[in-house]
């Protein structure tokens, strides 16, 4: 069976109404009908050539002027990751790093719409295939209690609603809290998340033969997403994508 294409987004009635009301751009503070104005999107969210396996930005010169349908970085060519595809919308750099920190740690959930707009643009641009299951990366009980919400789930829910996807918030479980990956040296990140996740036993059977998309806000070395992908693969998932808002340069 050929994989189905991702359905285009359908704006809600509220989103259509808000689109007619000008406000201030979240980046430059100029008046705009978008949360991030088109000038800032053109400047800071321009499409970039990225590794299709890990989302890392690739210099165009590294391909020698040759067009590649599925370009990969040298590391992924030598050691293929457990992901079949990775789509990253943005670089984790100004202004997105500041907006993501506010969204993630300061309860600025109103920023989610602007961030999701960038992710949806990347999914459309990369002609992402529609998964059977959209799975947000889970938080530990301690982190969820401290923060009050899972930032990845808050992106996954509206994305699933607008794209006609099945978002499953309770299939993946985080067994223990882990240190923030951004604060750790690269060589410690895989160990930090090893055996940190599990599957909800009563739902694990849904993964047999399934095409799954993992959704996360920031990808650093990919250790978290790779650990989850291996877990899903052992449960029988046949295709695993990662959809992430921002990719660090490592």
pLDDT tens digits along 186-217? 666 666 677 789 999 999 999 999 999 999 99
Model pLDDT, residue 14? 52
Q: Which of residues 92 and 20 earns the better pLDDT score?
A: 92
Mean pLDDT over 232-237 rounds to 97
Which pLDDT does position 15 carry in this prediction?
Answer: 53
* Phi, psi (deg, nearest 5) at residue 219: -115, 125
Residue with the larger pLDDT of the pair 68 and 31: 31
Q: Confidence class of residue 127 from pLDDT cuts 50, 70 and 90?
A: very high
11 or 171, which is more confident: 171
CB-CB contact of 51 with 73 (8 Å):
yes
Residue 243's φ and ψ, nearest 5 degrees, are: -115, 120
Contacts of 221 (CB under 8 A, 6+ apart): 181, 186, 189, 190, 250
pLDDT value, residue 179: 59
Place of tokens 């641009």: 125
Residue 180: the pLDDT is 60
The answer to whether the beta carbons of residues 173 and 197 sit under 8 Å apart is yes
Residue with tokens 């694990």: 204
- CA-nearest of 171, 88, 168 to 131 is 168
For residue 179, what are the contacts with CB-CB under 8 A and spacing of at least 6?
Answer: 192
Q: Is the pLDDT of residue 65 over 60?
A: no
pLDDT of residue 245 exceeding 60, the answer is yes
Q: Which two tokens stand for residue 110?
A: 């109103």
User: Which pLDDT score is estimated for 12?
Assistant: 60
Residue with tokens 């009301």: 21
Residue 248 in tokens: 């660090």
Both structure tokens of 81: 């990751």
| Nearest-5° Cα angle at 94, 154 to 150 | 15
What is the per-residue pLDDT for 33? Answer: 83
For the segment 120-146, the average pLDDT, to the nearest whole number, is 95
Average pLDDT for residues 70-93, to the nearest whole number? Answer: 95
Percent of the chain at pLDDT exceeding 90: 72
Whether the Cβ atoms of residue 195 and residue 224 lie closer than 8 Å to each other: no
Residue-wise DSSP of 173-213: EE-S----GGGS-HHHHHHHHTT-EEE-TTTGGGGTT-EEE
Q: Which of 3-17, 67-81, 168-182, 200-214 has the highest mean pLDDT?
A: 200-214
Task: Inform me whether the pLDDT recorded for 49 exceeds 90.
Answer: yes
What's the rounded Cα separation, in Å, for the pair 133 and 168? Answer: 7
User: What gap in Å lies between CA 160 and CA 199, rounded to an integer?
Assistant: 21
Q: What is the mean pLDDT of residues 157-163?
A: 96
pTM of the entire predicted model: 0.86
Structure token digits, residue 247 = 């990719």
Least confident range of 31-35, 144-148, 192-196, 201-205: 192-196
16 pLDDT above the threshold of 70: no
Alpha helices of the chain — where are they, by DSSP H? 13-19, 38-44, 74-78, 96-105, 112-125, 141-147, 151-163, 186-193, 223-234
- Average pLDDT, rounded, for the chain: 88
């Amino acid at each position: 069976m050929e994989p189905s294409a991702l359905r285009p987004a359908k704006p809600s009635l509220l989103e259509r109404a808000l689109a007619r009301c000008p406000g201030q751009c979240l980046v430059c503070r100029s008046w705009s009908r978008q949360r991030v104005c088109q000038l800032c999107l053109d400047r800071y969210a321009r499409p970039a050539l990225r590794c299709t396996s890990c989302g890392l930005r690739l210099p165009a010169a590294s391909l020698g002027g040759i067009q590649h349908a599925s370009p990969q970085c040298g590391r992924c060519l030598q050691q293929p990751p457990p992901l079949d595809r990775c789509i990253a919308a943005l670089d984790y750099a100004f202004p997105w790093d500041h907006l993501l920190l506010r969204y993630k740690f300061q309860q600025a959930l109103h920023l989610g719409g602007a961030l999701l707009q960038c992710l949806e643009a990347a999914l459309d641009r990369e002609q992402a295939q529609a998964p059977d299951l959209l799975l947000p990366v889970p938080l530990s009980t301690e982190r969820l209690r401290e923060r009050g919400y899972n930032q990845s789930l808050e992106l996954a829910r509206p994305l699933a609603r607008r794209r006609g996807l099945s978002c499953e918030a309770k299939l993946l479980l985080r067994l223990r809290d882990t240190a923030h990956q951004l604060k750790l040296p690269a060589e410690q990140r895989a160990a930090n998340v090893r055996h940190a996740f599990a599957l909800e036993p009563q739902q694990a059977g849904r993964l047999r033969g399934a095409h799954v998309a993992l959704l996360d806000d920031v990808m650093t070395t990919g250790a978290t997403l790779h650990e989850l992908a291996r877990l899903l693969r052992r449960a029988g998932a046949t295709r695993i994508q990662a959809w992430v808002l921002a990719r660090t340069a490592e």
